Amino acid sequence: MGYYNSSESKKKRTGYFASSFSGLIAGALLVGVVVPQFTDVDAAAENQPRTVETASGIQNVSDIVTTDVTEIVDATSAAVVGVTNLKTAQQNPFMPAAGAEAQEAGTGSGVIYKKDGGSAYIVTNNHVVEGAERVKVTLADETELDAEVLGTDVWTDLAVLKVDSSSISTIAEFGDSSVLKAGEPVIAIGNPLGLQFSGSVTTGVVSGTERLVPIDVNGDGTEDWQAEVLQTDAAINPGNSGGALINSQGQVIGINSMKIAQDAVEGIGLAIPINSAIPIIQDLEAKGEVERPSIGVSIMDLSSVPQQYRNSQLGLPEDVTEGVVVSEVAPGSGAEKAGIQPYDVIVELDGKAVNSVLELRQHLYTEAEVGDTLNVKVYRGGKLVDAKIELTESL
């Protein structure tokens, strides 16, 4: 979590009232022309001030302000919920475990995207509910519901929950993230820092699309995946994870996932594009998992193998410096049937060079399907060998 402080030097200015007043008028005109984003041009007609005279004779002027932002928030915020991860606290070994209650282990946000019969469905982040013994959902009106985790996916950081729908009336509408442009205004709704700040709203713009961010999925210090994300400058903090990134039409175009908070970095929030999330959501809802293809091997980057072993055990030519080393082959897998052996070095898939485990995984998970046959080139004992591997479902 990052806290950001900003300060501006203040200087006294005297004797320039006329010029300052003129500057304020000019500045106000410029703001009205240049920054139309989420403003309502009919606000002046609709938002008439009300004058109330108090007992002391002092007049209060009350303005009811309605803008595009407030209208969108009014229409969509009830579809954004709090998600609480509950786990049983580690017990004192000398105390009886009976009666121990699950306690809050983390909080995040979620988006209600579907209501079907007696159930409602919520998308959130995998890391929000990971390892939970129970999951609790808190609606905008503070109603608490027990949630069932239908499925999670560590690679896309998505999860789907199911709750009773009797208390739910607002459902989010998914938009089209493929048509987003840099500079387009967006709204982030979620629960930063937990339910204490539930339903918080921040605004900004789309800072970039199709950003690739390296992810260490298993926490071993090695990048396992590259997530494609939307970049926004709308403030996204811990607890916003799983919340909604909404466009100017009130449609969800991203699921907020993470925030870069470093000393030299500010205003970089990231969200999973909704077009990428929808097929994952559908799989998790229907099957509880995402079906992905597998070659059937355990692998490691060639770059992690010391040079002497590349020559002595792998028998590689000196000009081969990148690829993926096969360490084990699963019995009955497509790789075994294709004749792949331990110490083979995969360098090409379907005519594309493969330089790392990350690139191999990206190819399998984004460009191939279960049942496809891959054309593979491997180095075996210093010779380049062709193989055809039929992909099976990941175990």
Which tens digit of pLDDT belongs to each residue from 223-232?
788 888 999 9
- How high is the pLDDT of residue 267? 80
Which pLDDT score is estimated for 121?
A: 98
For residues 235 and 187, membership in a common domain is answered with yes
Distance CA 265, CA 131 (A): 30
- With respect to residue 8, please indicate whether it lies within any of the assigned structural domains: no
Q: Residue 83: its pLDDT value, please? A: 96
What pLDDT score does 95 carry?
A: 60
Of 110, 102, 142, 145, the C-alpha closest to 127 is 110
Q: Indicate if 388 and 364 belong to the same structural domain.
A: yes
Q: How far is CA 117 from CA 129, 303, 343, in A?
A: 25, 53, 54
H or E segment and range at residue 71:
helix 68-76
- CATH of residue 311's domain is 2.30.42.10
| Per-residue pLDDT at 96 | 58
Domain annotation covers residue 231: yes
* Inter-CA distances, 290 with 33, 111, 158, 278, 387, Å: 48, 20, 10, 12, 27
Number of domains in the chain: 3
For residue 394, pLDDT over 80 is answered with no
Residues 213 and 303 in one domain: no
State which of 131, 164, 197 marks the end of a domain.
Answer: 164
Q: Looking at 109, 127, 207, 344, which residue is catalytic?
A: 127
What is the pTM for the complete model shown?
A: 0.77
- Please count the other Cβ atoms lying within 10 Å of the Cβ belonging to residue 248: 16
* DSSP single-letter state for residue 302: G
Q: How confident is the model at residue 347 (pLDDT cuts 50, 70, 90)?
A: very high
40 is catalytic: no
* Statement: residue 343 has pLDDT above 90: yes
3 part of a folded domain: no
Among residues 109, 198, 200, 241, which one is catalytic? 241
Give the domain CATH number at 265: 2.40.10.10
The verdict on 297 and 280 lying in the same domain is: no
Task: Identify whether residues 297 and 217 lie together within a single domain.
Answer: no
Domain that holds residue 115: 75-89+104-164
Catalytic-residue membership of 157: yes
Q: Among candidates 285, 333, 360, 246, which has minimal Cα distance to 119?
A: 285
**Residue 241 falls in the annotated catalytic set:** yes
What per-residue confidence (pLDDT) applies to 29? 35
